Structure 1
Amino acid sequence: MLFNSLAFLIFLPIVFSCYWFLLQKQLRYQNILILGASYVFYGWWDWRFLSLIIFSTIVDYSVAKAMHKATSDSKRKYFLYISLAINLGLLGFFKYFNFFIESWVDLSQSIGLRANISTLSIILPVGISFYTFQTLSYTIDVYRRKIEPETDIIKFSAFVAFFPQLVAGPIERASNLLPQFSLKRTFSYEKAVSGVQLILWGLFKKVVIADSCATYVNIIFENSENYNSSTLILGAIFFAFQIYGDFSGYSDIAIGVARLFGFDLMTNFKKPYFSRDIAEFWRRWHISLSTWFRDYVYIPLGGSKGSLGIKIRNVFIIFLVSGFWHGANLTFIFWGLLNALFFIPLLLLNKNRSNTNTVAENHVFPSLYELYQVVSTFIIVTFAWIFFRAENLKAAFTYLQHIFEWTTDKITYGWNLEILILLILFIVIEWVTRTKETLQLQNPYFRWIYYIGITQLILFYGAKNNVVDFIYFQF
């Protein structure tokens, strides 16, 4: 079920009403309702894959309990390996099986061997990368004795399948989200208002910004050989805003919906396009994933400790794994490699923690140097996004080749004044709220004009662009 669909517009008020008006003082039944609603939400896409998420839930629930009861470290490690093998095995089969088969066939043919191996028609379950990492963090934290295993199967199942963030994050830690299913929840008007504000802003990002940009991005990237350099540059910029509006919009809606039910989810984006270097960008972009890799991959490998060679190795590993997490395509791996290459100079110069505050803090405008830093960081991030968006590496390099040709005899496309005005409006609001979640207007008249204006834009562009899937559903 999509957040920007009519089905969800009907689904959410029904669940909300039952949750607060029928079950307000009955915690267990509230949790059961959340679990049932989450399964309906996920099964709306394809009910067959409910069995997969239920299986993963049972495995990790049982493994954690067995791990806790184990009398030796070797047994605890054995149960952890079961969780890792099953979860990563399912993720690998559904997401990477055909990739490895095709890679093996290509390699065999390149050295003159014949490989008659067929791929399978595998449907990628929506959100499998997200809920797999969420359950893995639970079993790993139980193994590390950071948290106690959950004994209530309803609470644990609701934690795994919690519908606001189930299919595209944020990837929640059990230490943050799971205890909230044990706390008595009372309706908070202030929390509900902040939730609705986030939902509105998230829908604006998705429906007005991302989906409007998507129309031009799809045409430009799929026909890059027909357009001149300026059009291709614009296409890359549009994609940068499309993926940000799409993904951060989903996160905002997820956090906002969770608040309507009395839950607090972690912040997943902190205005990343105002970053002054690539290290700051990755502290502000998809925070739940970057911190997951930091805690469960980077630090266990040694992190930033040890020799310079080990530090560089760990940076490359973390970015390559991050790229591979996004999908079974060499474009994602190359995208990860590029980000590693952008990051390494900061590491070598010991400047990867230079910008930990907010740009232009306590100032209305940035300094010229800060503006240069923000623009240059946006340029290299957008350059890398070309590989993320391209169908394959050949298409990505062809796109770049046409950018640097600087021909004037090809078609100019995409210079749409309407979209440019929307993007300027978006950037201004993002800048004003760079230290806040949403725009806070004290004057009630201005506040309601803002709410009504945002709503009208969402309705108008929602009807214009139709319902478009979220980009990160494919991951």
Structure 2
Amino acid sequence: MVFSSITFLFIFLPVILVLYYIIPDKFKNVVMLSASLIFYAWGEPLYVIFLILSILFNYVCGLDIGAKQKDLRKAKLSLVFAVTVNICFLGFFKYYGFLMDSLNAVLPVNIPYRELPLPIGISIYILQAISYLVDVYRREAEPQKNILHLGLYISMFPQLTAGPIVRYIHIEEQLKRRTLSTRRFGQGAVYFITGLGKKVILANSAGNVFEHIWGLQAGHVSVLTAWIGCISFGFQIYFELSGYSDMAMGLAKMFGFEFPKNFDYPYTASSISGFWKRWHISLGNWFREYVYIPLGTGHQGRSRQVLNLLIVWMLIGFWYGDSWTFLFWGLYYGILLIMERFWWGRSMKRMPSVVRHIYTMALILIGWVFFFSPSLGAAVKYMGVMFGPGASGFIDKQAFFYVTTHWLLYLTAILGSSTAGYRGIRYIIDSFEDGRAKKAAASVIYIGIFLISIAYLVTEPSNSLLYFKF
């Protein structure tokens, strides 16, 4: 089940909200945990067993690490064991097919194997489980003795499938008690509707353009058409992931939780480092806290820092997907960040902001080619079209068609991926002096976005989540 579906919007969510608000406080976590398991089992009836086993395993390991706090060596061994099991669990399901394909590519014989479907959300809940175990080991959090609380933290349906990745210490107290209010519920509804519009209206529409261009025959694509396809994918993945994160934050507020911001207008950045401070923030913070800092970069020389950055970005690339293109994509950003930090970062600051922004967006778009291509060869071939070799010319009728028929989509996407879109909505609302008029204007705008999104869902039932492929 996905948030942007008729079933979720008009059956699952209303039922859970009614039960959650009418039931006594001491049973609210039971309702949330039950809802989360049902939500997961809706699309993964078998893999919900593995989710439950993960909860039980990490619950026992957390208690074990907490019980051995007086003996750091034993506590560390318990932590290493628990983290290793979690990583192996993730590695088996996510990288088993990749490993077998790689072996078959180099071995003289072909090893047959059965391809396993990837459990949805496993990349999220495994990282959250590791966060809990490490925080307990560091004594930044107490081992959770209430299995309902830990189960809810690992499996909470608002962020189970696509994040944000929430650190345990940031939500520990909220698992025990939280405040519900009409104001917070209203804020959550606004976040959710905004995210729904991003996903259904903008991401799906941009994705349709990209899929059409990607499906064109080689030799029949112009330079401009190739760039339009790449830009369309850039908008698709941004509005899908940020939209889903907005929906997760909105749902969390409706149930009394507070999730961290996951995207902060990354396409407005004027450097690659600035982009990654704004893109998938919770993921970057997780790798910084649990991988980069433990590697000891703060007290090492430049060569060691470079090595550790490459390790981290290789892991980030592999976290996104199980192919060599994702590994290359991660290393691509690792190298760019190293170059900005140690070589041309200071020179960039002296450049005009427009030049820095063009530089950043060009490199981001090139990176997306590695991200969406099925192989490195396909990525190189597509980039060849973008820069001339292999293209049918600089511009053709197809490029003109996309620009003239989808200009409103791209204009809306540009506004929506910058602060201009938000400021525009606020300007309309604030133009009314009376408080009731402001609320009425806001209601009309967001109800309108919701109704348009529903219309898109009804007319275009195909609404898969791009993130599920990774």
**Normalising to structure 1: TM-score of the pair?**
0.90
Paired with 1:474 and 1:286, the residues of 2 have a C-alpha distance of: 17
Alignment match of 2:392 (pick from 400, 403, 407): 407
Paired with 1:171 and 1:122, the residues of 2 have a C-alpha distance of: 24
CA deviations on 1:328-375 (whole Å, 9 max, x unpaired) are 1111011112112221221114848998xxxxxxxxxxx992233223
Structure 1 alignment gaps of length 5 or more = 109-113, 356-366
Show the counterpart of 2:435: none
Show the counterpart of 1:269: 263
CA deviations on 1:89-143 (whole Å, 9 max, x unpaired) are 11111111121122122223xxxxx234222221110010110000011101111
1:85 Cα offset (Å): 2.1
1:312 Cα offset (Å): 1.1
Answer yes or no: is 1:198 the counterpart of 2:191: yes
Q: Give me the identity figure in percent.
A: 32
Alignment match of 1:129 (pick from 123, 132, 135): 123
CA deviations on 1:275-327 (whole Å, 9 max, x unpaired) are 01000100100011111111111111123542111111112111111001112
CA deviations on 1:204-243 (whole Å, 9 max, x unpaired) are 1101111001111112123351311111110000000000
Paired with 1:354 and 1:393, the residues of 2 have a C-alpha distance of: 29
Paired with 1:352 and 1:320, the residues of 2 have a C-alpha distance of: 25
Show the counterpart of 1:361: none
Answer yes or no: is 1:286 the counterpart of 2:280: yes
- 8 Å CA contact retained: 1:433, 1:439: no
Alignment match of 1:371 (pick from 346, 354, 359): 354
AA in 2 matched with 1:8: F
Q: How does 1:64-75 map to 2 (within 5 A)?
A: 64-70=62-68, 71-75=70-74
Answer yes or no: is 1:189 the counterpart of 2:182: yes
Paired with 1:285 and 1:254, the residues of 2 have a C-alpha distance of: 16
Show the counterpart of 1:246: 240
Answer yes or no: is 1:88 the counterpart of 2:81: no
In structure 1, the residue corresponding to 2:46 is in which secondary structure? Answer: helix
1:418 Cα offset (Å): 4.8
Moved more, 268-277 or 65-74: 65-74
Q: Structure 1 pair 55/141, CA: closer, same or farther in 2 (3 Å)?
A: same
Moved more, 189-198 or 302-311: 302-311
Show the counterpart of 1:362: none
Paired with 2:247 and 2:188, the residues of 1 have a C-alpha distance of: 8
RMSD of aligned alpha carbons: 2.4
Show the counterpart of 2:205: 212
Answer yes or no: is 1:395 the counterpart of 2:378: yes
Answer yes or no: is 1:11 the counterpart of 2:5: no
Q: Structure 1 pair 284/353, CA: closer, same or farther in 2 (3 Å)?
A: farther
Paired with 1:188 and 1:239, the residues of 2 have a C-alpha distance of: 38
Paired with 1:190 and 1:448, the residues of 2 have a C-alpha distance of: 14
Paired with 1:333 and 1:439, the residues of 2 have a C-alpha distance of: 41
Paired with 1:269 and 1:377, the residues of 2 have a C-alpha distance of: 17
AA in 1 matched with 2:2: L
**Normalising to structure 2: TM-score of the pair?**
0.91
CA deviations on 1:427-450 (whole Å, 9 max, x unpaired) are 224433689898572232543442
Q: How does 1:28-67 map to 2 (within 5 A)?
A: 28-67=26-65
Paired with 1:261 and 1:354, the residues of 2 have a C-alpha distance of: 44
1:412 Cα offset (Å): 2.1
In structure 2, the residue corresponding to 1:126 is in which secondary structure? Answer: coil
- 8 Å CA contact retained: 1:169, 1:251: yes
Structure 2 alignment gaps of length 5 or more = 433-437
Answer yes or no: is 1:330 the counterpart of 2:329: no
Which structure has greater helix proportion? 2
Answer yes or no: is 1:457 the counterpart of 2:442: no
1:147 Cα offset (Å): 0.9
- 8 Å CA contact retained: 1:213, 1:238: yes
